[in-house]
Structures are given as C-alpha cells and as structure tokens.
Structure 1
C-alpha cells in the first residue's frame, strides 16, 4: 500500500509539472511553421543573402507572439547571414542579442554556436581581446556539454586569432588540436580546411616540406570528394608554397593547374593569375607578370574585391615604373588612391553604423527586459494560482483516499501476521520430525505422500495469502490437507469430517483465504492433542441465501481448562487477526463471530465450538 501512496504523490507532481509546462512552456518552443522557414533560410542565406535577410527581418518584426527560443533562433540565423556576407558589425550585434536570449533559456549548445560567430566577427573588426574572450567561452561550453565539433570550431577560431597576430607557434598548436578532433568526423570539407590552415602555418614558419605534406592531404581529400572549387584553392596554395620555397617550376605547374581547372568548371578565380604574376615578377619576367596581373585585376574589378584590386594595382605600378611607362604607373596610382579613399570611407561608415546599431540594440534590449519583467510577473501569478489549485486537488485526493490507503496498509500487515500464524515454526518442525520417523520406519511411499501433502500445504499458504478471495472448494482442499498433515503428527489420534449443506457448486463461491485454519489449529493443539483416542474434529458449512455459516467443533479437553494451564491469549489463537480481516470487509461479519465452550452432562469441558457467518 505504500506503493499506492507513493504513486499518488507521483501523480500529483506529474500534474503540477504539466501545469508548469503549460504556463511557461511557450517560452522555449519552436512552432513547426517557424522551424520550416528556418530550414529553408539556412540553405539560401549564401545564395540569396538579401532575400534571406529581408525575410528574417520580416519574421522578427511582424510576429509579436514569438517565443524566446524562436526569437533567439531567428536572430542567430540573421547574424549568420550577415556574417557570411561580410557585414561584421551588424552580425556582431545581432548575435549578441540572440546570445543573451540563449543564456536566459539555458541553451548551452546555441550559446556556444553564437559565441564562435561573435569571436569571428570581433576578429574581423580588429577587436582581438573580445574575439579571444568569446572563443575561450565557446571552448569552455563545448567541453562542458561534450560537443567535439563545437570544440573544434572554438580551437579553429583561436587558430585564426593567433595566426593574425603572427603568433605561429600557438596557431599551430590550436590547428593541431582542431585536426585531432575532426580526424574522426565525416565532414570532409572541414578536414580539408583544417589541413590547409595547418599548411599555412608551416608556410609562415618556412617549414615547406610539412606545408606541402598538409596541402597534399587536402588535395587528396578534395579529389576524393570531387570538389573542384576546393581543389582549385588547394592547388593555388601549393603553388604559392613552392613559390616561397623558390621552386618556381613546380609553383608554375600548380598555378597553371588551378587556372585550367577553373576553366573546366567555368569558375572565375583571380588568385592563380595573381600568383603567376608574383611568380614572374620574382623571375624578372615583367611582360608575363604584367599579363597575369592584368587578368587578376579584371576579375577583382568585376567582383568588386577592392582590397585585392589595390594590392594588384600596387604591383602594376611597380612594373610600369620598371618598364619606364610612367603614364601607366600614374593612372594606376590615381585609381589606387581613389580606391583606398573609398575603402577608408567605407570602413568609417561601417564603424559609425556599428555604433548606431549598437545603440539600437541596447534600446531594444531595455524594452525587451521591461516587457519580460511584466511577462515574468504575470507568469508567476498564473503559476501561483494554478499551483494552489493543484495543491488543493492533491490534498482533496489524499483526504478522499486516506481511509482506503490506511485500510490497505493494515491489510498488508495482516497478511504478514497471518502468514506467520499459518506457518507456525513449531508445526513445521513437528511435521518434519513425523515425516522423518516414517522414513526411518522404512515406509518410503507413505513418507513420500506426506512430503507431497506438506509441500502442497506450504505452497498453498504462500499462494493464497496474497489473494483477497479464493473459491470455497480451494479453501476446503487446503484445510483438509492441513488436517491430514496434523493427523500424521498425532498418529491419527483423531478423525475429521467436512459437511456442506445448501451448496451445489463450492467452486462458484468466493471466500477470504485461510479463515478456517487458525480455529482448526486451536482445536487440534488445545483440545484434541490431549486425547489419546476418539478425538473428533467437525467442520460444517451451510448456505442460507446470501450467507455462509461456518461451524468448527471438537470434542477435546476444552478451551477453558487449557487456557488456565498455558495462559493462552486471544492473540495466540489468532482471533484478533481473524476479526480484523472481517472488519476490513465492512459487512458486519465480525459481529457474528462466537467461541463457545462445550460441556458434558456432568458439566465438565467437552470441547469447543466456533461459529461465524460470511456474506456472499
């Protein structure tokens, strides 16, 4: 019954949990419609950046019922789209707003993802200290939640940071850690990038053989993956490595290989042409250098890559001066200065925009915090009201079931007491001793029969004590088995009979198990045991409509005399247990229970009779 008590507590807590979930769950769920849009935007933010940003802004501004998690995920995706399109200040502020929400939601996985992009954006803006802080926080979170992929990304971010600071030893250490984490992954693109990063460090350290070895691994993976764009980048890098090692023939071969592959896949890529321009410049082949620099320049102009265009024009200025073409050098100088001026202005505008966006973010943060405070108070009010209601329900349920639980608990204890009474150790030892004597007398068949009866009796006791009721014929079978086992102990010094009246089918009548055995045992132990012969034990069961009458009588020495000799208590007779069992049925049957002492014509004790009724 203690299990039922515990189950009720569990039920109450489950209900309470469901209420909490209903009251607050909207704060951290994502609706299928939003989830579907995020999945589509994730695949289009690179190919259609403007459209993706427009839709993300629309979702953020036109949905007032967004949950905190939905808003945070939308901000994360917007920040990623801005970052991938080189809008680093806007990406930084957007990610910072999303990160704040993830912290409140205790979503450590998305906190880590946001921190990595925040670190990258800060690095692009030249804020080294902030970049390092966020990268280390992401690393700590990744290790805390055991996300190896995120840990690798954090190490990779630290690599970029130290590589930019020209701290190549630390950069190498971090990229090797990244490599060790990703070596077991199936993400070939990331592994190629890591191998290339490692090669870049070796190149800066002038360890050309190691750099070429890492680039070769990247090239093999690119060929296996059949990714021509990545392979072009790797070939170009190998060309630059050979150039640094002053192996110009090999450098030219790989750079031309990159150009050929670009043509095959119809890709526009200026890097190999710029590489060849630098190569020919080193070899003092000015015309070839100029041709390749001009090809690179036309591509950079078309793709509006201002920084690279400035760098190439610097080289063309030098070549024009070397060739004595000062007019050409001046033209390149004018264009380059104009580009530099525009680039500086763009950088200033970007910083100004960053400040404006930062101010706007702070303002929105204040508004959101205020609204959240209002929502929080309303939520706690709702939770308190519902919790009080649930507690009242639980108290009412406990009150309603309290009587039943106590009764069930008493029944459990009664079962244990009943089993102890039924399986009296004295009876068991005496029975086993009697079976041993039969065995020693050389009668194995008889002893085997009694062992079978005794084992069946024990099994019946254990089986029936756990049941609320059993068929009447099973009760009679068990009590007969018990009496016959007792007859063995006393060498059949008494006989017994079982009579039934008004009962056509005893198997169809249910009665509480083991009701009769305590009184049969008393009759034998305290009445018939003292008689050497002529003892009689009678059991009579009579049905009268919906009642069963039970009479257990014997012609032994009588209960009163034996009680005086041995001070037998009511508890020893199991009478109290019997009455409690009847009381628990709540049918008033305990009131019919009578124990009557029998006397002969000389008024001497002549046995005992037990009477009670059961309602069926």
Structure 2
C-alpha cells in the first residue's frame, strides 16, 4: 500500500501564486516604504515582506545567493519582536503564523505544531483574523505528519469552515485535498474517495489545473491502496498529461514516486527504475522519500542487502523531523528486510517499535503487518502464547483493513460511475454549446451580410437619385449656356457643367466597384470560407467608407487615393489567394498630403491588370505601381508581368461571357473631362512589354495628369 508523502501535501498547499516578477516588485515597494513606517504599520509591513518572500515561486537571478526561507524567517521574527514591544496582538499572531509556514517548509512538524497553537491563542484576542484559516490548516498538517489523524481532521475542518465563510473556493479545495490524504493514511478509503471526488469537482469548476492534476494523482494513490494498479496508473498519467517525466518534479514530485511504486507492485522493475532516475535527490526533503521508496523496490526484488542501507538512512531523516507516518512505514520495511535475512532479533526490535507508534495513531495497516511479523518471530522462538496473541491481533486487523478496502472498492466503483456520468454530461454540454455557438455565428454573419446589403442598396438608390439630379442640373445649365451671350458667363457655366459631369461619373464609378466587391463576398460565402469572408468584409467595409468619403469631393489628396488603392489590392490579393504580389512606390520628396487627384483614378487600370493580365498566368505574378512628378505633371505607371493584351484578348474571345470593363470607360471619360476643364493634355499610354525572344512580358499603363492643389 502506498502512503501519500509529505511532499504531496506540501505541493498541494503551495497553490498557484502571483508570478515571481510581480512578487519582486511588491518586495521592492515594501522595502522602500519600511524605513518611513512606525509602530503597527511597520509590523504589518514586516509581516507582508515575510509573506511575499514565501510566495516567491523561484529565486530571481539577482537573488540567487539569498535563502528565501531564512529571509522570510528574518522578517517574521522582526515583526514578532516589534509587535511584542508595542503589544500589537494582530501583528504577533500574524508573525507567528508566518513563522509556522516556514517550519512547515522545513518539515519541522513538532515546532510547527507548537507555533500554530501559540498563534491561534493570539488570534483569539485579535480583531483581524486574516491568516487564522491558514494557521488551522498548518496545525492540521503538523498533526497529520505526526500521525494524530483525529486531531488533524478537526483542525482541517475548522480551516475549511473559515475559508468557506470567506468564499475562498481555492483554499477550500486545498484543505479538502489534504483531508482526503489524512483519511487515506488512516485507512478510511471510503471517506478519502468521497473528499477526492468533491475536491476534483471544485478544482475543475474553478479551472484550477494545478489542483486538478494533484487530485488526480491522489485518486491514483487511492486505487493503489485498494490494489487496482492499472486504474491507479491511468489516473496518474491523466494527472501528468502534456508533461514529460523530467518535468514531474517541477509540477508535483510525488508523481514520480507513485508511478514508480505502481510499476514495482506490478513487477515491472525496469519501468520503475526509469521513473526513479528522474527523482530530485539534491535536497533532504526529496531524498528521504526516495531512499525508502527505492528501498521498497529492492525489497520486492528480494535484494535485501541493497534495500537495508536505504531504509536505515531514510529512517534517520524521518525521526529527526518526527514524521511518524514515514517512521512507521520505514520501521516496518526494516523489520520485513531483517525477517527475510533471518535476523529475528533485529526484525523483532523494529516491528515492535513500529507497532507501538501504530497503536498510538490507530494506523490499522501498520498494526496488521507488524503483528504478522511479531507472530512469525514468536512462533519461530516457540513462544506459542505470544505468537497466538499477535496472530489474533493480525487476523482482527486484517479483517478490519479488508473491510476498509472493500468499502474503498465500493467507493471507487461509485466514484468511477459518478465520474463517468459527469464526463458524459460534460460532453453533452460541450456538444450543445458548440451547436449553439455555430448557430450564433451563422446568425451574426447573416445579420452582418443583410446590414451591408441594406446599406449598399440605400447607397445605390441615393447615388441614382443624385445622378438624376446632376443630369437635370446639367440639362438646365446647358439651356442657360445657349441663352447667355457673355463669354465669361458661358465659361463659368461650362465649368459647372464639367463639374456636374464629373460628379455623375463618380456616382457611376462607386456602384461599379461595390458590385465587383459584392461578387467576391458572395463567392466566399458560397465556398463556406467564413474566416476569409469575415476578413474580406472587414476590409470591404473600410474601403466602402473611404469611397463614400472621397466621393463627396471633386479632388482628394494623393495620400487618400493611395490608401484606397492599397486596401483594394489587399482585398484582391486575399480574394485570389495571393496569386500575385504587388508594390506601390512613392518618392520620399513627393508631398502626398497636399497633392490632389481625382478619386479612383488608378484603380480601374490596376483591376484590369489583375483580371486580364495576372489571373491568367499560371505562376505567381508581380504588379508594380510607381508614382512620380515631372514638369508639373503626375505620372502613374502600372506595370504587370501578366500574359499581355494579345493573349488576354484571345482568351476573352473564347469566353462565353463577353465583359467590357465599365471602370476603364468611366475613367477614360473622367480624364477627358479633366483635359477639357484644365486645357492640358492628360493622356493614357498603354505599352505591350516583350521578352528578348519576342514573347509577351506583360503590360505597362502610364497615366499623366497635371499637378493640382486646393
């Protein structure tokens, strides 16, 4: 039977705390405040410093030479002395509580018990009982380590009630876990299973992965106690999920021991030794458990001479710390070893010592095994009366322990049934949540699509009305131009006419681009590509907003035009699965925030290069847009390495659908309007690029417009 080690409970107590970096900042802050504080405020600061050092998960590099426990002890002792001088009751109680915590980390259980009793007495008169629950917990732990199981449970119950009063669920789970271990140690497996299940439920509900893993390992130990080794191993490995054996020590060192012991019990000694090889024996706390556990591995292999030195060394450590549970276990192991070596005198000595401690603590398993050894020795010595006495004691304890094991197996069966039911309910809930989440996503996407469609339809209607209004105004201006005789008046009205025509063309340009984008969104939705549809919708909404803003002005800044163009290229690259790369080159000395250009003047030619040049190319294409200023003119050069106009025209002639780019026609009309309005040339030049062998190398479009400002 495997008894939960002290190291298990120490690991259970050390719940997840603030990261080391935060604790270090807190310590530095408290140290800065300390010199300016006096009386009770100074005592409270000293106590906080002690607690902050105890919470350090690992020593920072610059503090590598500092003994954390000793430093925490220094501040706790200083707090105690200063609190005594001013008779500060709460400060005395809290400093004693921290001193007890330090003794617990040092495994000094008698001293821990003494300090906790003293702290509790001071807390009775203190108005602030901040660490009273933790003090009762430490007292229960100290009593348990000394095999005073009944008293340990009483103090743990008090601690649980205080934490429950403060609604501290995590600490309740910690106390519950320790109580389960105490019941296991005393042989009450039924109660241990009950508390372990309760603790596991609390840890799972609170998403506390560390405590959940710890409780799974304790449940594995309980299954080991009732000799269900495969199930025990299953729970232990469930506790170590996503951890490597060399990482077990960082999480919970007991897992290595429990897993190794389970393999030993199943005579799989190579596997057991594999896990023993990862055990951390660099400190006394880990070494004392390793010595006894590995000695038992030797004992099971009947390698008595190798086992005995381990037991003797381990016993010395346990006795010095008054860890009576492990003292009983080790004494019994030594007695079994000497009995196997036919050294009855030594076997009698250690078995009798183990029995005396077990009778005081009520550890039935130890009473049973020690009585069996003593009965065998007395029988060998032919002391029939004594042999019979211990044999009767052995059978009585055997029946009692067997009864507890049977109850434990029933509890384990009930536990497994409840866990299966809980897991089944959890799976059903997860499936239901996934289904509801999927429906919510579809609903949200549907609502977003409908909203965009509604906005677009309203916008199109508004644009049509605006277009009609502009056309009516254009007609009226044309009539007035015929009536006006003054050339100056005619020129002014001509300018208004040109401006209105430009607005009408921009109004046609906006729905053209919107329709193209809607086609792309529709294709993503039909392909059930939700992530790309969502990303495309986001970029589309930004671009629509820019277009709506830009459509209100005759001219926009070059910066706004390039921003819209970049967003459009991102959308096209996403839509065509990044089949082409692009680059926009602007000289650093060009003032893009001041220069004005007509909106969407470049986009139609970029669109034409993508659709008719690059998309028909098998390999990945390249699209370059260069902006330059020469002789008071802006030049936009759009270059692609696509299939060329000739091959694109041939492909278009074979297509069943004949499509003429509305965007190019509208843009050409706009450039013509601009030429007429400014009286300067603004030509569009298209050049076919060829390779050295005469094959098509792409197309180059050069747009020339005059430099314009506000």
TM tier, shorter chain? 0.3 to 0.5
- Please report the TM-score for the alignment, with normalisation by the length of structure 1: 0.41
- Please report the TM-score for the alignment, with normalisation by the length of structure 2: 0.36
